[in-house]
Structure 1
């Protein structure tokens, strides 16, 4: 039994972290979604501990996923540059995004998907509820949009141009 936990320790830590993220943000989303303000546009009052936990978890997961992507991109770029130098080719600085996705661990991919899924739900609640949501919802929504813009920049930057000539239409 101890050997199982020893082999699965990182997976257990990742699962607990992601479960906490989902539970805390699920709680926030439910509280904001079902809240009916007495005065239109009034946000719900959220428990201070929930606000702190939600902020810490979302900031942490955003940073962790962004850094994992950044480190993986740097690793793939180094490998491609060294293989290009060995073959006597100069690299143009653009590399195959497929190399990045194959190097990401299952934990990182799961974290990315959880962050995006919950983030998109938070963004949806923020857009629907507007001022009747909370500053916490708005802050996470803006943070998610910034994260998506950064990720999109990486996606478009890593795209290799086709080596086939395009037919003029």
Structure 2
């Protein structure tokens, strides 16, 4: 029982990421194998699946973005006065990220890229849910790229 207590956060993270992958895997399979039949513009997805996918996506993107932001703030504060122009290296930030956050970022980007590719391939024959996640991922990637380029500038 003591080992279970020590691993509780890892178990919670694993279950959360597993649900995210399972729900989005289901959406990707349904939309990916759907062939337009002329009567409907996109495959029908039940409300529970759409809600679960939306909640999990919003939660994971918020969690990863805030974790990155807080970690950058911690590194800046630790290396200087906490001012925004304090230089730091991207390696300092990634070294402070927990394995759970790194896993969450990798899972979010991997699933998100699959969704983006499906959206680009299917176009109007996909669902609004696919389009919303694809655009959300692009926004997240733009924010993350901004951080990457900002740290690169500050480190030089």
Please report the TM-score for the alignment, with normalisation by the length of structure 2. 0.94
Structure 2 Cα separation of the partners of residues 68 and 61 of structure 1: 10
Query: How big is the alpha-carbon RMSD for the aligned residues of Structure 1 and Structure 2?
Result: 1.8
Moved over 2 A (4+): 90-94
Structure 1 Cα separation of the partners of residues 85 and 150 of structure 2: 12
Shift of 1:91: 8.6
Aligned to 2:51: 52
Shift of 1:94: 3.0
Shift of 1:92: 4.1
Please point out which of 119, 122, 144 is paired with 1:126.
119
Aligned to 1:79: 78
Are 1:142 and 2:103 counterparts? no
Deviations 1:107-147 (A, max 9, x none): 00000000000000000000000000000000000000000
Secondary structure at the aligned position of 1:30 is classed as helix
Secondary structure at the aligned position of 1:94 is classed as coil
Structure 2 Cα separation of the partners of residues 16 and 91 of structure 1: 36
Please report the TM-score for the alignment, with normalisation by the length of structure 1. 0.87
Structure 2 Cα separation of the partners of residues 130 and 41 of structure 1: 14
Does the 8 Å contact 2:76/2:84 carry over to 1? no
Structure 2 unmatched runs, 5+:
none
Structure 1 unmatched runs, 5+:
85-89, 163-169
